[in-house]
């Protein structure tokens, strides 16, 4: 039995997309983006009070990078992972975990734009810094994708899922037009049925209610 604990448009979307790509049977339990994640019931699944949490074979796994590695090792025939003796293993690991580098900047921007509801609580300086840092991550992805269809020469993998989901969130705050290789890759991977299936259903509560949040200028 595989059961994913998920908040729409959060890091757990990374695991949801991967599960769809693996084409395995699984269940999804949706949680709201609120203090329910601090309840004893949820803390028993993830003591940090965050998503994702994945129930697999009688135990719970948390941290999206760990979930990605475990699932790809559990289902190697899908080609979503790279075995320890594969020449692309190191690059696969780098990009799977680079997703979290970008996600950290986006978590700060999400807090500043969305979680902090009053203007006086927000920091234009911090918002500007984090947006620039996210752009630097975009530049690194764009450079990697120059002349490539996917992050690895061996083809689409969980590395593309992990980084692609982070870019999905980042695009709410940072434009991609200046990064043509990244944009072409993003268009390619988000046309996949697995990505589309991981999006919130039409009437679901959403973390992001706009496609793009205008940056704050430092005055």
Residue 55 φ then ψ, to 5°: -90, 125
Domain covering 89-198, topology: Glutathione S-transferase Yfyf (Class Pi); Chain A, domain 2 (1.20.1050)
> How high is the pLDDT of residue 115?
83
CATH superfamily, with its number, for domain 2-78: Glutaredoxin (3.40.30.10)
Least-confidence region, from 24-33, 36-45, 107-116: 107-116
- pLDDT greater than 60 at residue 219: no
Report the C-alpha gap between 163 and 72 in whole angstroms. 16
> How high is the pLDDT of residue 218?
46
Cβ atoms of 126 and 112 closer than 8 Å: yes
Residue range 134-174, pLDDT digits in tens: 999 999 999 999 999 999 999 999 999 999 999 999 999 99
Q: What is the pTM of this model?
A: 0.94
Burial of 49 (0-12, 13-18, 19+ CB in 10 A): middle
Percent of residues, the chain, with pLDDT higher than 70? 98
Report the C-alpha gap between 94 and 92 in whole angstroms. 6
**What Å distances lie between residue 200 and 13, 16, 83, 192, CA to CA?**
9, 11, 32, 15
Domain spans in the chain, listed from the N-terminal domain onward: 2-78, 89-198
Burial of 118 (0-12, 13-18, 19+ CB in 10 A): exposed
- As a whole number, mean pLDDT of residues 95-107 equals 96
- As a whole number, mean pLDDT of residues 34-60 equals 94
> How high is the pLDDT of residue 216?
72
> Nearest Cα to 158, choosing from 184, 121, 195?
195
- As a whole number, mean pLDDT of residues 28-51 equals 93
> How high is the pLDDT of residue 163?
98
What tokens appear for 204 in the block? 């679901």
Q: Give the DSSP letter of residue 174.
A: S
- pLDDT greater than 80 at residue 117: no
Task: Report how far apart the first and last C-alpha atoms of the chain are (Å, whole number).
Answer: 54
- As a whole number, mean pLDDT of residues 193-211 equals 87
What tokens appear for 127 in the block? 């918002």
Least-confidence region, from 13-22, 123-132, 136-145, 172-181: 123-132
């Amino acid at each position: 039995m595989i059961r994913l604990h998920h908040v729409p448009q959060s890091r757990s979307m990374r695991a949801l997309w991967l599960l769809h790509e693996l084409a395995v049977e699984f269940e999804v339990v949706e949680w709201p983006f609120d203090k329910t994640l601090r309840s004893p019931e949820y803390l028993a699944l993830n003591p940090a009070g965050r998503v994702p949490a994945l129930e697999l074979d009688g135990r719970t796994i948390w941290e999206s990078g760990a979930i990605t590695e475990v699932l790809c090792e559990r289902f190697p025939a899908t080609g979503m992972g790279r075995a320890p003796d594969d020449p692309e293993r190191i690059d696969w690991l780098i990009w799977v975990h680079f997703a979290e580098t970008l996600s950290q900047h986006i978590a700060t921007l999400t807090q500043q734009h969305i979680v902090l509801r009053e203007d006086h609580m927000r920091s234009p300086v911090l918002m500007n810094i984090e947006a620039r840092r996210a752009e630097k991550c975009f530049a690194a992805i764009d450079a990697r994708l120059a002349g490539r269809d996917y992050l690895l020469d061996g083809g689409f993998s969980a590395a593309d899922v992990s980084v692609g989901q982070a870019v999905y969130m980042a695009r709410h705050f940072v434009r991609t037009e200046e990064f043509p290789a990244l944009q072409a890759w993003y268009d390619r991977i988000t046309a996949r049925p697995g990505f589309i299936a991981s999006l919130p259903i039409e009437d679901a509560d959403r973390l992001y209610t706009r496609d793009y949040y205008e940056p704050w200028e430092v005055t």
